[in-house]
Amino acid sequence: MLKKIGILFIISIVIIACNSTDEGETGIIDNFNRGAMLTHIADNIINPSYESFKNQMVALKLAGDTFATTPNQTNLETLRTFYVNAYIDWQNIEMFNIGKAEELNYSFFMNIYPLSSVDLESNISSGTYNLDNDNYHDEQGFPALDYLLYGVANSDTEILSKYTTDTNATNYKKYLLDVLNQMNSLTEQVVTGWSSFRSEFIASTSNTATSSLNKFLNDYIEYYERKLRANKFGIPAGVFSSTTLPEKVEAFYKKDISKELALESLNAFISLFQGKYKGNVTATGLSFEQYLEALDRKDLATAITSQLFAAKAEIQTLNNNFNQQIIDDNSKMTRAYDELQKAVVLLKVDMASALDIQIVFIDADGD
């Protein structure tokens, strides 16, 4: 009998060993092909989004170079146009916190707001700063450009003078170029890194805390909850504080694009959910929406899309300038927030639960 039990133990251990060594291996033949979904997302959504933004970033940097060489009204206007275009396009890639972007903390260097304008000014006047340092996250990226192109003085003439006649003009120009170079070089690294990371990304479909699929889904949901819902709406609308904080809106100095940025961000989020690129079907492929449907949760997939569109409709009624909206009538802003919030529940509770995403590695017995 001891022998039999011994054999049983050996078999069991073999089963366990097989299980742990084969982890991460794929070869899906069940009714939903996660590898195909990730491939579609990688090739038809992430890749074109990255390429598009990279081009925007290059154009922005060139316009910055031109402006720094010849700071005049025309070049300022051009630079501003490229800034707005790039900032809008950025909304399509901020949620991809994967590979090189995750490793470099890309989005922290690109879009942490509100900007610390006091620190930024002291960087310029002293000329000593290190944009690679984590302490300088809120003194660079798009919010810094926003300030340097719109907020550094009250009128265009005065803004231009900062780069021409001001005693610190050289430092202003240098800071502007440093910010642009930093953004451009990080973007290049991320986009280059992506092409080598792609194959790893689409292959990692297992259900473990470290698989691409799970991390991507987690980041995706977290992006919605934090960067979109909280940062763009909740925080400035005073949801998390006892008073409203209208100065914490995105693109505070440009002012009239905060709604456009938010809508672009939400569109990008919805597009990814539906397997589209910037709202368009560019190639057929599987999406999170179809993933839920494959799991017999069409009810949930429908609930999520209709809630996201409800939020979008609510946002469309707002002033182009969120700062102004909050000051004039914050209740409209909080109503938009509430609609966005309802989708958080569907994403974080219902969708995460339906997909049974492994998030933390801790023993559980299902209660």
Partner 1 sequence: MKNYIKKYLNQQTNVAPLAVFRIFFGLLMFASIVRFWANGWIEELYLAPKFHFSYYGFEWVKPIGDFTYVLFIVCGIATLFVAVGYKYRLAIITFFLSFTYIELMDKTTYLNHYYFISVLSFLMIFLPANVYFSIDSYVKKRSYQNVPKWTIDSIKLLLGIVYFYAGLAKLNSDWLFRAQPLKIWLPSKYDLPLIGNNFMQQEWFHFAMSWGGMLYDLTIPFLLLYKRTRIFAFVLVVFFHIFTRVLFPIGMFPYIMIVATLIFFDANFHQKIISFLQKFLSHLSFRLKWRNLNVSSSDFEARKIVLRTSNYNFSKSKKQLIFPIIVIFFTIQLLFPWRYLAYPGELFWTEQGYRFSWRVMLMEKAGYTTFKIVDGKTGKSFMVDNKDFLTSFQEKQMSFQPDFILEYAHYLGDHFTSQGHKNVEVYAESYVALNGRMSTKFINPKINLYQERESFKHKNWILPFSSEIKIKGI
Residues engaged in binding partner 1 (CB under 8 A): 1-2, 4-5, 8-9, 12, 15-16, 18-19, 22-31, 34, 205-208, 230, 234, 238-242, 295, 297, 299-300, 303, 344-346, 348-350, 352-367
Q: Closest distance between partner 1 and the C-beta of residue 91, in Å?
A: 23
Helices 212-222 + 34-41 axis angle, to 10: 60
Q: Closest distance between partner 1 and the C-beta of residue 200, in Å?
A: 16
**Which of 232, 207, 206, 226 lies closest to 27, judged by CA?**
206
| Nearer of residues 199 and 241 to partner 1, judged by Cβ | 241
| Nearer of residues 171 and 211 to partner 1, judged by Cβ | 211
Q: Closest distance between partner 1 and the C-beta of residue 12, in Å?
A: 5
| Nearer of residues 177 and 355 to partner 1, judged by Cβ | 355
| 301 neighbors 293 (Cβ within 8 angstroms) | yes
| Nearer of residues 153 and 345 to partner 1, judged by Cβ | 345
| Nearer of residues 118 and 364 to partner 1, judged by Cβ | 364
Q: Closest distance between partner 1 and the C-beta of residue 350, in Å?
A: 5
What's phi and psi for 232, nearest 5 deg? Answer: -80, -30
**Which of 148, 155, 158, 83 lies closest to 121, judged by CA?**
148
| DSSP-assigned beta bridge partners for residue 277 | 280
Q: Closest distance between partner 1 and the C-beta of residue 287, in Å?
A: 17
Identify the burial level of 309 via C-beta atoms within 10 angstroms of its C-beta, where 0-12 means exposed, 13-18 middle and 19 or more buried: middle
Q: Closest distance between partner 1 and the C-beta of residue 346, in Å?
A: 7
- Give the C-alpha distances (Å, rounded to integers) separating 248 from 118, 170, 220, 224: 15, 29, 23, 18
Nearest-angstrom CA–CA distance, 233 and 207: 33
| Nearer of residues 9 and 317 to partner 1, judged by Cβ | 9
| Nearer of residues 16 and 153 to partner 1, judged by Cβ | 16
Nearest-angstrom CA–CA distance, 252 and 142: 11
Nearest-angstrom CA–CA distance, 347 and 339: 13
Nearest-angstrom CA–CA distance, 199 and 42: 9
| 150 neighbors 117 (Cβ within 8 angstroms) | no
**Which of 269, 247, 244, 268 lies closest to 258, judged by CA?**
247
Cis peptide before 246 (omega within 30 of 0): no
Q: Closest distance between partner 1 and the C-beta of residue 27, in Å?
A: 7
Q: Closest distance between partner 1 and the C-beta of residue 33, in Å?
A: 10
| 320 neighbors 332 (Cβ within 8 angstroms) | no
| Nearer of residues 112 and 148 to partner 1, judged by Cβ | 112
Q: Closest distance between partner 1 and the C-beta of residue 296, in Å?
A: 8
| Nearer of residues 263 and 352 to partner 1, judged by Cβ | 352
| 202 neighbors 35 (Cβ within 8 angstroms) | yes
